[in-house]
């Protein structure tokens, strides 16, 4: 145990009389440095065969997954395409909304569609035509 004193360079580890600070620093760094000192090992050039196998496996797996997903996509397209094609069978009149012969639920009489303004004009023109038929 020695009181701390500022010392010169010459009193360091290589000098004559190292003081307390020199000893403390030397001990601190000695304790801090790796012991034993790590040995250099040159990295091997070739990757491990295990790595090669696993990378090959990975590649084949990803290819299989890609093929499966493509098949699924194609299958889905075919199924959906078959469902939404245009109908070829004849459609019943109900399906196209033709209710001309059905009784009107409000009047009890036969259902008449509401006359359109254009349709009335055509009647008038028909009248005109009929009047034109007059001699």
Give me the residues that bind other proteins (CB under 8 A), please. 1-9, 12-14, 20-35, 37-38, 40, 42-43, 45
Nearest distance from residue 9's CB to other proteins, in Å? 5
Nearest distance from residue 48's CB to other proteins, in Å? 17
Cα–Cα distance, 22 to 19 (Å, whole number) = 5
Q: To which residue do tokens 């020199």 refer?
A: 22
Residue closer to other proteins by CB (options 2, 93) is 2
Residue closer to other proteins by CB (options 39, 91) is 39
Nearest distance from residue 18's CB to other proteins, in Å? 10
Question: Is there a contact between 6 and 22 (Cβ–Cβ < 8 Å)?
Answer: no
Question: Is there a contact between 17 and 11 (Cβ–Cβ < 8 Å)?
Answer: yes
Residue 22 burial by Cβ neighbours in a 10 Å radius (0-12, 13-18, 19+): middle
Residue closer to other proteins by CB (options 35, 101) is 35
Nearest distance from residue 40's CB to other proteins, in Å? 4
Residue closer to other proteins by CB (options 40, 84) is 40
Contacts of 102 (CB under 8 A, 6+ apart): 110, 111
């Amino acid at each position: 145990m020695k009181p701390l004193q500022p010392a010169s360079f010459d009193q360091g580890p290589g000098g004559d009389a190292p003081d307390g600070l020199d000893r403390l620093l030397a001990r601190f760094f000695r304790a801090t440095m790796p012991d034993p000192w790590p040995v250099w090992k040159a990295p091997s050039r070739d990757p491990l065969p295990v790595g090669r196998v696993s990378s090959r496996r990975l590649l084949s797996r990803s290819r299989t997954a890609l093929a499966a997903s493509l098949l699924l996509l194609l299958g889905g397209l075919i199924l959906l395409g078959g469902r939404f094609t245009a109908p070829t069978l004849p459609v019943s009149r109900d399906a196209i909304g033709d209710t001309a012969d059905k009784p009107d639920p409000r009047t009890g009489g036969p259902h008449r569609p509401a006359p359109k303004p254009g349709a009335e004009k055509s009647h008038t023109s028909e009248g005109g035509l009929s009047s034109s038929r007059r001699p």
